[in-house]
Structure 1
């Protein structure tokens, strides 16, 4: 027991710097109750169409204006809470602020942008990435197999009913992101990475301390199912559009994010060393 407490305290300490950027490492996750809610997110960001909107505007849009057309006040409150847990909805967090930045510029990349943000904030969803990504294209992703994988992470944590619904929600999210195809029978597919989604993945890696070549080896780039050469090509495209700065001389790579990382965040990054 003492060893578990010590390990938990160490993990909390290690994750604290990233939490300032908007990452979440709580044990629970929205996917035990909902999917990554891509359609709701798209509707909300379309309704509150301002990059500097405070978090309260998103709350009012969902609860008071009922922009997502929910039947009851309770459902509206739950919907807002789940969206805030998945995406922060707070521009004080670079995780959400930069999501908005690329969301506006890269419509085709929105499913993967949402998946990356949800991955960074939902531990249950994040824990299933190794299971999904290791499956070759064309593999049938049986819900029962995913249930077994989830249960193997923490045996007995979920009841059978919760395990089933969680697996269904997670399969739905991976389908929305393009990693799976099919309504009932889920087949492993490859998503379509874009310049915006690659840029966002590079930024998430940068916030966690990766630099240079290592930026193209992070878990966030891996989530895109994107070969390194293709990711570099898309990053170069993003640089030409002015979304990021990408420089390459031989094997030396530099990626910067002008206008996205504010002064306070730069100081935090320097503290991380």
Structure 2
């Protein structure tokens, strides 16, 4: 059982204003991170500042995802909104959209970073997946045991099985695992866009300087400190982030991604 400190709760509340989620549930009991649907939706609604209602209309009315029934369309919207917010007023989704068009190769990992900031079951499974060496087999049964150990008895056997399958599928969509039936630990393909997103998520969580490159978000990138710095420098040249490095001192800022209001919130937080 997790005892929440007041400081932790207020920190989480502040991050919720930016689109992070700490709900107890999680889409992964029912679905994967839905990369195929997300790609189709974001190419159908191609305005970066589209309102949440436009995503709803695209799925419900235009049926851009080709779902058979109204009920399935409603459920699909709900799952995608739970995973990705689909709201330009929330930083995690707005940053995802900003980088999505600009860094197509990074899309699987961008989606995973966003889902990680919003889905507690996916977040909880990350240390388990990252504990495997490249080439090691990650079985569904091992994932089931890990999930069950977090809160013994919370899920029925059937739910445990489908949740473990969904989580392993999401880590496959993100590039951290490969294989259809037998899942093997692989190295995810990080890019300047995914590095920008990981650093941003760490920054709004209160990290600064070099510790940004060692956060749980940066761990998702599956690459060395030096390689991450290199890609951050590339992102800085493209104007996505601002990176200054003098010897051991690193400063990263996000003028293209954070609004004045969000900067104000972060100042209050610190």
Among 257, 260, 264, which residue is 1:267 paired with?
264
Could you say which residue in structure 2 is the equivalent of 1:119? 116
Mapped pair 1:198 → 2:188 = no
Deviation at 1:157, TM superposition (A): 0.3
Mapped pair 1:132 → 2:148 = no
CA offsets, 1:61-120, max 9 Å, x none?
000000000000000000000000000000100100000010010000000000000000
Could you say which residue in structure 1 is the equivalent of 2:61? 64
Mapped pair 1:34 → 2:36 = no
Report the TM-score, using the length of structure 1 for normalisation.
0.96
Deviation at 1:225, TM superposition (A): 1.1
Deviation at 1:12, TM superposition (A): 3.2
Deviation at 1:10, TM superposition (A): 6.0
Deviation at 1:132, TM superposition (A): 0.1
**CA separation of 1:12/1:138 partners in 2, compared to 1, >3 Å: closer, same or farther?**
same
Deviation at 1:215, TM superposition (A): 0.8
Unaligned runs of 5+ in 1: none
Report the TM-score, using the length of structure 2 for normalisation.
0.98
CA distance in 2, matches of 1:244, 1:191: 22
Matches within 5 A, 1:176-215: 176-215=173-212
Matches within 5 A, 1:1-273: 7=4, 11-273=8-270
Farther off after superposition, 189-198 or 238-247? 238-247
Moved over 6 A (4+): none
CA distance in 2, matches of 1:212, 1:82: 35
CA offsets, 1:172-220, max 9 Å, x none?
0000111101000000111110000000000000110111111101100
Counting matched residue pairs gives 270
CA distance in 1, matches of 2:83, 2:195: 20
CA offsets, 1:230-262, max 9 Å, x none?
000000011111111111010111111112111
Partner-residue secondary structure (3-state), 1:183: coil
Partner-residue secondary structure (3-state), 1:247: strand
Unaligned runs of 5+ in 2: none
